[in-house]
A and B are shown apart, each in its own frame.
Chain A
Amino acid sequence: MSALAAILRELAGLFVDDGLLALAILAVVALAGVCAALAPGAPLLVGAVLAFGCLGVLLANVLATTRR
């Protein structure tokens, strides 16, 4: 059981290192999804939210980590 938990922890570690970064990425994707649902005629807006959101989240996380 502990071996299985260790494997699951390792697997999760592939994708989540800093929990705040992972949550922020998921929030950007969710926001892009909401935009896609509310404004189906503006798909480029969805792309812009996704691209600029991820770039912004990355920079903000790096700066915040340094301050911590």
Chain B
Amino acid sequence: MDEIARIGSVAATTFLASSVEAVEALTIILAVATVRGWRPAGLGALAGLAILAIAVIALGPALEFAPLHVLQLAIGVLLLLFGMRWLRKAILRAAGVIALHDEAKAFAATTAQLREQDAQRIARADWLAGLASLKAVVLEGLEVVFIVLAVGAGRGMIVPASLAALAACLVVAAAGLILYRPLARVPENTLKFAVGALLSAFGVFWTGEGLGVPWPGEDWTILALVAAFLAVGFLGVALVRPAQAEGAR
């Protein structure tokens, strides 16, 4: 696989995965801004970004000292756990076994909770609202950091992976600021389905490299693995959906 295609696959994976996480964080930040204003929402988000930056600065250089095979194996296994968890959930949601994640509902639940704090005249309401914003950025951001490090570190692609994640966060933030409402129309489960397959494929690939597997076709194997995970995902939905519909009757 030539360099441009390799960078493209890493950037596309991190962009899509980061978009999903950024949409979830944005929902909470918007809820805080709606109820308590932009000051606690913005300060909480900035503090969260600072914590994430410290984590990246601390972890990034440490990865360079790890032997490549050990790094590929460790990252591969973590990617398998992370990616297959996403894909499993997306399959179950697509088949109707579990409910779809609803940004509008998450927004309504967070605003209701913050309004309750307001009604109780809790003196630290701004603090609590800021903490909600910080927590959303740190938790969703940690997933973005992991994806960037995991997808980028195995082949020295941290910079394109980071730039793609940053672009995703900026695009989502800009859309949120312009629309000033949760991005409920983003096809989140479709994105999670695709990203779960991509991350799982990277996971099998890195784990195999860590175990010394000379993949036929080298990096092109990743595309074949993505296709295989998508095929199994669609098969899972096709097998489960009729049984689910039958059970609902």
Residues of A at the B interface (CB closer than 8 Å) are 10-11, 14-18, 21-22, 25-26, 29, 32-33, 36, 40, 43-44, 46-47, 50-51, 54-55, 57-59, 61-63, 65-66
Inter-subunit contact A11/B142 (CB<8 Å) = yes
Q: Is B181 an interface residue (CB 8 A)?
A: no
Residue of B nearest to A22 (CB): B81
Choose from B82, B207, B225 the contact partner of A14 (Cβ within 8 Å): B82
Residues of B within 8 A of A18 (CB): 85, 88
Residues of B within 8 A of A40 (CB): 212
Inter-subunit contact A21/B212 (CB<8 Å) = no
Choose from A17, A25, A51, A63 the contact partner of B228 (Cβ within 8 Å): A51
Inter-subunit contact A50/B207 (CB<8 Å) = yes
Choose from A25, A50, A55, A61 the contact partner of B208 (Cβ within 8 Å): A50
Known A-B contacts A26-B77, A33-B211, A58-B88; A65 and B97 likewise in contact (beta carbons under 8 Å): yes
Cβ-Cβ contact count across A and B, 8 Å cutoff: 103
Residues of B within 8 A of A63 (CB): 236, 239-240
Inter-subunit contact A50/B236 (CB<8 Å) = no
Closest Cβ–Cβ distance, residue B18 to chain A (whole Å) = 14
A65 and B89 CA atoms in complex are apart in Å by: 11
Residues of A within 8 A of B233 (CB): 58
A51 and B216 CA atoms in complex are apart in Å by: 13
Residues of A within 8 A of B81 (CB): 15-16, 22, 25
Residues of A within 8 A of B89 (CB): 17
Residues of B at the A interface (CB closer than 8 Å) are 77-78, 80-82, 84-85, 87-89, 91-92, 95, 97, 139, 142-143, 146, 200, 203-204, 207-208, 211-216, 225, 228-229, 232-233, 235-236, 239-240, 243-244
Inter-subunit contact B88/A21 (CB<8 Å) = yes
A36 and B214 CA atoms in complex are apart in Å by: 12
Inter-subunit contact A55/B229 (CB<8 Å) = yes
Inter-subunit contact A62/B77 (CB<8 Å) = no
Inter-subunit contact A46/B143 (CB<8 Å) = no
A18 and B233 CA atoms in complex are apart in Å by: 17
Inter-subunit contact B95/A58 (CB<8 Å) = no
A61 and B229 CA atoms in complex are apart in Å by: 14
